[in-house]
């Protein structure tokens, strides 16, 4: 098993903590929207993919998205519940999935969007009971899935933009370098 560098772990930690801070605010907004206009709360779903997309795009290393999701969940758990860890891992798994399928041999941009579409479809299925989806009119149900997918695609686009700007600033140079093997 290859070792990971301290710079890589610190970069993941920084992204995870920043993601946790962002998600803390998004969580509050989501709870308020869910209580007042549940359909509208899905419009900010893409915020939950941001930390994982940034880590995967910036670092291009296996499980970077899940590690960042775990750290974000740990940041959130004292303020919400330990369920925050499962939530952030769930939202981090789907951005990671297309790269996992290729065994992390390809890092094409379209793969980030494939993960966004996957979670945009999967999340409403997992949350169907919470949103009472199966009682909605077919047009409204389709709109719900489209809104969720569009939000996740938009969140992915923002994550790619942020990661590319961080890379241009030199953030990923040291973190992506693999440490030399120990004799």
φ/ψ of residue 58, rounded to 5: -70, -45
Burial class (CB in 10 A: 0-12, 13-18, 19+), 157: middle
Check if the beta carbon of residue 61 is closer than 8 Å to that of residue 8. yes
- Residue 120 has a CB neighbour count (10 Å cut-off) of 25
CATH of domain 6-176: 1.10.1760
Q: What does pLDDT average to in each consecutive run of 10 residues of the chain (183 residues)?
A: 77 94 91 86 93 95 95 91 90 96 94 96 90 87 93 97 92 62 54
Write down the pLDDT at residue 80: 82
Closest CA to 164 of 22, 65, 54: 54
Write down the pLDDT at residue 175: 62
Distance of alpha carbon 13 from alpha carbon 67, whole angstroms: 8
3-state secondary structure of 136: coil
Write down the pLDDT at residue 177: 58
Write down the pLDDT at residue 1: 44
């Amino acid at each position: 098993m290859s070792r990971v560098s301290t710079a890589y772990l610190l970069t993941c930690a920084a992204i995870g903590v920043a993601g946790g801070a962002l998600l803390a605010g998004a969580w509050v907004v989501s709870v308020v929207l869910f209580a007042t206009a549940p359909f509208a709360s899905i419009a900010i779903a893409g915020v939950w993919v941001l930390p994982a997309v940034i880590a995967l795009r910036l670092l291009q290393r296996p499980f970077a998205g899940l590690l960042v999701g775990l750290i974000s969940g740990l940041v959130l758990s004292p303020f919400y519940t330990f369920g925050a860890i499962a939530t952030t891992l769930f939202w981090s798994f789907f951005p990671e999935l297309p790269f996992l399928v290729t065994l992390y041999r390809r890092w094409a941009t379209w793969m980030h969007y494939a993960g966004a579409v996957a979670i945009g479809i999967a999340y409403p299925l997992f949350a169907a009971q919470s949103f009472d989806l199966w009682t909605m009119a077919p047009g409204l149900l389709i709109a719900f899935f489209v809104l969720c997918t569009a939000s996740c695609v938009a969140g992915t686009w923002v994550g790619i933009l942020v990661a590319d700007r961080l890379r241009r600033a030199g953030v990923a140079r040291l973190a992506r370098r693999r440490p030399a093997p120990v004799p």
